[in-house]
Chain A
């Protein structure tokens, strides 16, 4: 099966306000898709619905992930199935260190696959390797999750978690917002080196910035809850030049 994600006629609301008004999108294995759109287009709603945020209601349509009905799964089940989202605003969890957070997450993934928990030494070795991979200072392993992190450190921590969980589909929700060029490059390097012919990514963004470093195969324009245009990388260039008005 080549299609990793199939979104069909997806409608979603928050309260009684409809935000997604019939989204269709198919992502094949190995592809990187960009979803671009102005503020209020529904970009965050799309990523929230795909990851199963409780505040949203799907009123119509379906999403199939790896042949399974994504919308019937709990957020944690989606994660076990290989979905990951890098948050636009990573959440602070006071009192929980990155080590204990990731240990619990990795153990849950292994349990879902019917595997024994990793030995502590093996887990710590894996942490160390992945932190080095995304250029994160090892001292962060003892820090509380995202507490007191700068914007760049938060985003880097997201990519570190992505490396730890090896997802098949990664959603990067406005990962470029609030990052300077150096931080952006680090994030992009991480995303590029985690990319394989078997894994896909959706880059959700307002600006073209990140797309200079992570090259999408397909670009979609989301506006007022609908995909209004789909094309190749040149579509992103055109938006950079002319904005979203013509759509």
Chain B
């Protein structure tokens, strides 16, 4: 799947966060950050972009040793005219490391959301596992979503996958719920919350209910 030549970037990163043990972070809009994950490092980062303001996330992760783990989750809601950009670059520099990404977004109004996700697997980074999922729901004709997964794999023995979808609320499911007495608005909210729940569920307990209520309140205001 690799194309072109592997060009390793500078292996020493000024200002990068060294992750050599479990690290759990939740970040809101406007973050540019680079992480170096070494053996014993277990990064779990959640990016949240809630409605009302533009957001730019630029996250780079370098997996330097065997056994390094990185998990990136993201949830973005752009419901009026926001501009949301998410860029992730996961660089497997050494074999035997695992990265997982799950980004889910809902775009309505005249908003725009762009997800750029690059995974690079260096030559000799055998036994790498790298997974990326980006799923989107469009609520209006004018909203736009772009999803650009990019895999550059220079090693042979790897497990890598990516999945990207852009869809709309399922009208058959909406009708089914309504025939059971669930009002149209509730049916929409139930479907949107369940779409987002795989990301909401990964939030640390002290933030989960607060973020979930805030998301639900935003969805109700549409």
* Chain A contacts to B: CB under 8 angstroms: 51-54, 74-76, 78-80, 84-85, 87, 90-96, 100-102, 104-105, 108-109, 112, 161, 165
Contacts and interface: CB of A to CB of B under 8 A. Distances in A.
A163 B178 CA distance: 17
Interface of B: 170-173, 175-184, 186, 190-191, 194-195, 197-198
Contact of A79 (B173, B178, B191, B195): B178
B186 A108 contact: yes
Contacts of A78: 179
B112 to A, nearest CB: 25
Please give me the 8 A-B residue pairs with the lowest Cβ-Cβ distance, nearest first. A95-B194, A79-B181, A75-B178, A91-B176, A105-B180, A108-B181, A96-B194, A76-B178
A164 to B, nearest CB: 9
A101 B186 CA distance: 11
A92 B170 CA distance: 10
A75 B175 contact: yes
Contact of A76 (B173, B181, B191): B181
Of listed B172, B178, B181, residue having the most chain A CB within 10 A: B181
Given A79-B178, A85-B179, A105-B182, A92 B197 contact: no
Contacts of A80: 181
A53 B171 CA distance: 10
Contacts of B194: 93-96
A54 B176 CA distance: 11
Contacts of B180: 79, 101-102, 105, 161, 165
Contacts of B190: 96, 100-101, 104
Contacts of A79: 178-181
Contacts, number: 72
B173 A108 contact: no
12 contacts: A52-B178, A54-B175, A75-B179, A76-B181, A85-B179, A87-B179, A91-B175, A96-B194, A101-B182, A104-B186, A105-B181, A112-B181
Contact of A165 (B171, B181, B184): B181
A59 B182 CA distance: 27
A90 B179 CA distance: 11
Nearest to B176: A91
Contact of A93 (B173, B178, B179, B197): B173
Given A53-B175, A161-B180, A165-B180, A96 B191 contact: yes
Contacts of B175: 53-54, 75, 91
Of listed B171, B176, B178, B179, residue having the most chain A CB within 10 A: B179
Contacts of B170: 91, 93
A165 B178 CA distance: 13
A102 B180 CA distance: 8
B173 A101 contact: no
Contacts of B184: 74, 76
A195 to B, nearest CB: 20
Nearest to A95: B194
Contacts of A105: 177, 180-182
A90 B177 CA distance: 11
A36 to B, nearest CB: 23
Nearest to B178: A75
Contacts of A90: 176
B216 to A, nearest CB: 13
B191 A108 contact: no
